[in-house]
A and B are shown apart, each in its own frame.
Chain A
Amino acid sequence: MAAAAAASIRERQTVALKRMLNFNVPHVKNSTGEPVWKVLIYDRFGQDIISPLLSVKELRDMGITLHLLLHSDRDPIPDVPAVYFVMPTEENIDRMCQDLRNQLYESYYLNFISAISRSKLEDIANAALAASAVTQVAKVFDQYLNFITLEDDMFVLCNQNKELVSYRAINRPDITDTEMETVMDTIVDSLFCFFVTLGAVPIIRCSRGTAAEMVAVKLDKKLRENLRDARNSLFTGDTLGAGQFSFQRPLLVLVDRNIDLATPLHHTWTYQALVHDVLDFHLNRVNLEESSGVENSPAGARPKRKNKKSYDLTPVDKFWQKHKGSPFPEVAESVQQELESYRAQEDEVKRLKSIMGLEGEDEGAISMLSDNTAKLTSAVSSLPELLEKKRLIDLHTNVATAVLEHIKARKLDVYFEYEEKIMSKTTLDKSLLDIISDPDAGTPEDKMRLFLIYYISAQQAPSEADLEQYKKALTDAGCNLNPLQYIKQWKAFAKMASAPASYGNTTTKPMGLLSRVMNTGSQFVMEGVKNLVLKQQNLPVTRILDNLMEMKSNPETDDYRYFDPKMLRGNDSSVPRNKNPFQEAIVFVVGGGNYIEYQNLVDYIKLSQLGQK
């Protein structure tokens, strides 16, 4: 997660992709250019990288007629150049060699998502020779794009094998050294690609004794090696000059998930975080199952099939951009407002229609004509805008309704409020046991989450008797108690380290059950759902970032190690050489971040830009 880079990482990645699709030549828009056509072949990794950034229409604009998976059945299409965008794995290489042998396409532009090894390159060379297709291989590139950008300022490592780099993979007790190495290598590779695309060499800071430290050491080593190799360095020349206007280098903060386990378990309340938590949301695409209303279907008729709909939440969607960090009740209100303004505009267009209809009957209306043609033109030209607006409103209405249904069914607002109270150590009005034993409120998973947060944030562990009581209640509710075991162990470790992270003072103020939303009789009947407002707080991750960026002295972060790949001699000290505060930072959580933290960081940026703290 980067903060305000000169050209956002999303733009850079998109530009890189477009250049790749244009046969590795920078793309220039020419309105009277001849069409060129090509075929795009990708593997699942490539698909995940491209899909949040380029829509099918944009692919068409770049001249791509077909986009196919590498490992699918593909027919030969002669006289067409093919652009490949794949990871350099064994199977992919085999399949590509097979393609070469089968002469599927006219020319081949091979692009590897991360760097390919020499031996694999020779494999391809071998196959090309065997197929007498060496001249057909027009270009081979290492793209260094092995990360997925979801937002202007947020990226994730991967989607396909995210299990590999998940918290569980890193922290499970039975992990072997070699497996750990593989995981670390994957992470470092992606981070390296990220910095190559960003065109900057960061200063790295990480906490000691954690997985994050391992990552930092490896990353530092890799960057250093690359910088030393003057001939092939990726960080010289155009890349730096074009992109970087600030002479400051960015700060990379590597934190381990273990410093704060409560936030990922926390129930969410902002729009984007809720969509991710509650609905099926991946790579900016949300899949909804619309259940048709319960109707009196005739006896014996087949049950109505639920429609599956999927929506893309893109940067073009202005409503999404504005409201993805807002608390949910606000979102509901805004959707209402948008709907009303859309209806007003629609009515105006309809009114014009009736005026036009009058004109034929009444000659006196001809004098109105002068205004009306202008009005009509503007109305007609605004029609596409109106339609787009309607589409967005429909989209968000559906999504928000789905989210609301979940909230109501699982009483997520209650959970959220309670957890906030626990995490801020204010007094609890309801007993935890009550909530857990309540059959209506939430799935077993929700209850487990709540309990774990309680356990994590408690200053001292609950007594054995209490614990047994809780355990019984949880098992009654259908929860699996394994997570509890793990958290117990974790807490034991964490006790040896610093005190459990505090979450600052937060209060959630319920805005009353009857909000304006209900009074206007909107679709979003938030009856019985508390209208909670978030007060600004700083999560542990944000605090760490704040300290490091502003070079504040704080017992938590003073101990962090300091790496500067550009320095000649590797230096183990934790005394930063650079005394100036940083302007740009990238926060990476080894073990997975979440939308709550992302939102918190974004809010922190906004606040600091406004000059408040």
Chain B
Amino acid sequence: MAVDITLLFRASVKTVKTRNKALGVAVGGGVDGSRDELFRRSPRPKGDFSSRAREVISHIGKLRDFLLEHRKDYINAYSYVMSEYGRMTDTERDQIDQDAQTFMRTCSEAIQQLRTQAHKEIHSQQVKEHRGVVLDFIEDYLKRVCKLYSEQRAIRVKRVVDKKRLSKLEPEPSTKTRESTSSEKVSRNPSEDSEEKPVTEEHPEKVPAESQPELGTWGDGKGDDELSPEEIQMFEQENQRLIGEMNSLFDEVRQIEGRVVEISRLQEIFTEKVLQQEAEIDSIHQLVVGATENIKEGNEDIREVSTLGPPGPPQCGTESRQQRSSCWQGGTSALLWPSPQGSPPDGAGQSHFDPRQTPDPRCYQEP
């Protein structure tokens, strides 16, 4: 267990002070000292960097507080029926979304600015490293807060999508749909999970199905209250069939939804990985471009050598070969002297002067 000896330290400070006073030693606790202190405090640059870094952090903190504060209201999708105070209209939610996004963008821009500035200013290696890491911390903080935001947004989007999907499943015309959707909403209130939706969904399905014979506005006469038992049976059968169809559709849709969610998650992972590898891929690209350049140059050099391979003017004879070999030693040393029997494209052992070849100027420079 660690022992806090700060108090002991302060006590020692007092002891030393009194001792020094007694000894009459001016330890900087005199006039000089206080002036030194002031001196030291004021011109010490507060550090642009750290003050701005702290500003960015406080901004992000504000964003976080804001998001956390309104989180409950934001997520609460069934605010129609809940208490008045918890309401948040969609427009308000959109407003929050937009504000949060612009805020995040400005924060990340500020971080980028800080980073470029930190690199530009000439400081010691240690300070640079320190600042780099500090900026990493701030970015990480921003990412965590953004995760808060994206989580609640994902929940909201999912709810909206579910709602839309359910309201589309009703095949009846608009009057019915309005009534049925209102009854849907009524029945949906007690449940918040999507797992319970199929249960409640069947209920509204039944409600319009039951309301059909009651309302009977569909093609039947207004006064005709009774339907013959066969018709009722037919309608019921059809209802059952429709319910079956809707259920299977619903299942399929749920499966697809699951897959889409997985795919989106995979996408997220992939984009993250690709972004990570972006820097590496760029550097590989650079290297490859450089390598192709080098190879091209190398090829050209080889071509030059090979075109000048066979001996030129006949006077040169063996001497030329020797001269040329000595010339070539000064040149591209990586290339081996092509053997006279070998590579030159013009054929081996040509002893007449070939106008096609450009004689090597260096040969004639030799005395």
Interface set of A (CB-CB < 8 Å, partner B): 16, 19-20, 24, 31-32, 34-35, 37, 39, 60, 63, 65-66, 68, 74-75, 77-80, 103, 111, 115-116, 118, 121-122, 124-126, 128-132, 134, 137-144, 196-197, 199, 232, 234, 238-239, 369-370, 373-374, 376-377, 380-381
- Determine which of B2, B17, B138, B255 lies in contact with A370 in the assembled complex, contact meaning CB atoms within 8 Å: B255
Closest residue of B by beta carbon distance from A243: B1
A111-B2 in contact given A75-B124, A125-B15 (Cβ < 8 Å): yes
Residue from the set B6, B57, B124, B148 with the largest chain A CB neighbour count within 10 Å: B6
**A1 CB to nearest B CB, Å:** 22
B263 at the interface (CB under 8 A from A): yes
* Whole-angstrom CA separation of A139 from B10 in the bound complex: 10
Interface set of B (CB-CB < 8 Å, partner A): 1-6, 8-10, 12-13, 15-17, 20, 27-29, 33, 36-37, 40, 44-47, 50-51, 57, 60-61, 64, 68, 123-124, 126-127, 129-130, 133-134, 137-138, 140-141, 144-145, 148, 255, 259, 262-263, 265-266, 269-270
Check if B40 sits within 8 Å of A78, measured CB to CB.
Answer: no
A143-B50 in contact given A39-B130, A66-B129, A130-B28 (Cβ < 8 Å): no
Q: Which residues of A contact B259 (CB under 8 A)?
A: 369-370, 373
* Whole-angstrom CA separation of A443 from B104 in the bound complex: 66
* Whole-angstrom CA separation of A75 from B265 in the bound complex: 45
Residue from the set A66, A74, A129, A232 with the largest chain B CB neighbour count within 10 Å: A129
A122-B8 in contact given A103-B40, A373-B262 (Cβ < 8 Å): no
A37-B1 in contact given A75-B127, A377-B262 (Cβ < 8 Å): no
* Whole-angstrom CA separation of A134 from B28 in the bound complex: 12
Q: Which residues of A contact B64 (CB under 8 A)?
A: 32
- Determine which of B13, B20, B129 lies in contact with A128 in the assembled complex, contact meaning CB atoms within 8 Å: B13
Closest residue of A by beta carbon distance from B138: A35
- Determine which of A35, A124, A197, A376 lies in contact with B57 in the assembled complex, contact meaning CB atoms within 8 Å: A35
Check if B12 sits within 8 Å of A78, measured CB to CB.
Answer: no
Check if B3 sits within 8 Å of A129, measured CB to CB.
Answer: no
Apart from A65-B134, A124-B12, A130-B27: 19 A-B pairs, beta carbons within 8 A: A32-B145, A37-B130, A75-B126, A77-B127, A78-B47, A122-B15, A132-B36, A132-B37, A132-B40, A139-B4, A140-B8, A142-B2, A144-B1, A370-B255, A370-B259, A373-B262, A373-B266, A374-B262, A377-B262
Q: Which residues of B contact A121 (CB under 8 A)?
A: 5, 8-9, 12
* Whole-angstrom CA separation of A333 from B277 in the bound complex: 36
Check if B130 sits within 8 Å of A34, measured CB to CB.
Answer: no
A125-B12 in contact given A24-B4, A132-B40 (Cβ < 8 Å): yes
Check if A77 sits within 8 Å of B61, measured CB to CB.
Answer: no
**B130 CB to nearest A CB, Å:** 5
* Whole-angstrom CA separation of A370 from B1 in the bound complex: 56
Check if A78 sits within 8 Å of B141, measured CB to CB.
Answer: no
Residue from the set B9, B46, B145 with the largest chain A CB neighbour count within 10 Å: B9
Could you jot down 24 A-B contacts, CB within 8 Å? A20-B2, A32-B68, A35-B138, A37-B137, A65-B134, A66-B133, A75-B126, A78-B46, A79-B47, A79-B51, A122-B12, A125-B16, A126-B27, A130-B27, A131-B28, A132-B40, A140-B9, A141-B4, A196-B1, A239-B1, A370-B255, A374-B262, A377-B265, A380-B270
Check if A63 sits within 8 Å of B137, measured CB to CB.
Answer: yes
Q: Which residues of A contact B29 (CB under 8 A)?
A: 129
Q: Which residues of B contact A134 (CB under 8 A)?
A: 10, 13
**B45 CB to nearest A CB, Å:** 7
Counted as pairs of residues, one from A and one from B, with CB atoms less than 8 Å apart, the total is 145
* Whole-angstrom CA separation of A79 from B28 in the bound complex: 23
Closest residue of A by beta carbon distance from B126: A75
Check if B3 sits within 8 Å of A35, measured CB to CB.
Answer: no
Q: Which residues of B contact A65 (CB under 8 A)?
A: 129-130, 133-134, 137
Q: Which residues of B contact A66 (CB under 8 A)?
A: 126, 129-130, 133
* Whole-angstrom CA separation of A199 from B2 in the bound complex: 11
Give the 5 A-B residue pairs with the shortest CB-CB distance, closest first.
A35-B137, A65-B133, A75-B124, A79-B50, A125-B12
Check if A140 sits within 8 Å of B13, measured CB to CB.
Answer: no
Q: Which residues of B contact A19 (CB under 8 A)?
A: 2
Check if B265 sits within 8 Å of A197, measured CB to CB.
Answer: no
Q: Which residues of A contact B57 (CB under 8 A)?
A: 34-35
A377-B145 in contact given A130-B28, A132-B40 (Cβ < 8 Å): no
Q: Which residues of B contact A373 (CB under 8 A)?
A: 259, 262-263, 266
**A423 CB to nearest B CB, Å:** 43
Check if B133 sits within 8 Å of A144, measured CB to CB.
Answer: no
**B44 CB to nearest A CB, Å:** 7
Check if B28 sits within 8 Å of A132, measured CB to CB.
Answer: yes
A143-B144 in contact given A66-B126, A79-B46 (Cβ < 8 Å): no
Check if A125 sits within 8 Å of B263, measured CB to CB.
Answer: no
Check if B130 sits within 8 Å of A125, measured CB to CB.
Answer: no
* Whole-angstrom CA separation of A78 from B262 in the bound complex: 48
* Whole-angstrom CA separation of A128 from B9 in the bound complex: 10
Q: Which residues of B contact A35 (CB under 8 A)?
A: 57, 134, 137-138, 140-141
Residue from the set B46, B57, B130 with the largest chain A CB neighbour count within 10 Å: B130
A125-B9 in contact given A63-B137, A376-B266, A380-B269 (Cβ < 8 Å): yes
* Whole-angstrom CA separation of A197 from B255 in the bound complex: 56
Q: Which residues of B contact A80 (CB under 8 A)?
A: 50, 130
Check if B3 sits within 8 Å of A141, measured CB to CB.
Answer: yes
* Whole-angstrom CA separation of A141 from B47 in the bound complex: 29
Q: Which residues of B contact A143 (CB under 8 A)?
A: 2
Check if B3 sits within 8 Å of A37, measured CB to CB.
Answer: no
**A472 CB to nearest B CB, Å:** 58
Q: Which residues of B contact A197 (CB under 8 A)?
A: 1
Closest residue of B by beta carbon distance from A39: B130
Closest residue of A by beta carbon distance from B3: A142
* Whole-angstrom CA separation of A199 from B126 in the bound complex: 39
Check if A129 sits within 8 Å of B16, measured CB to CB.
Answer: yes
Residue from the set B1, B8, B36, B145 with the largest chain A CB neighbour count within 10 Å: B1
* Whole-angstrom CA separation of A196 from B4 in the bound complex: 14
Check if B133 sits within 8 Å of A37, measured CB to CB.
Answer: yes
* Whole-angstrom CA separation of A374 from B265 in the bound complex: 11
- Determine which of A24, A77, A103, A115 lies in contact with B126 in the assembled complex, contact meaning CB atoms within 8 Å: A77
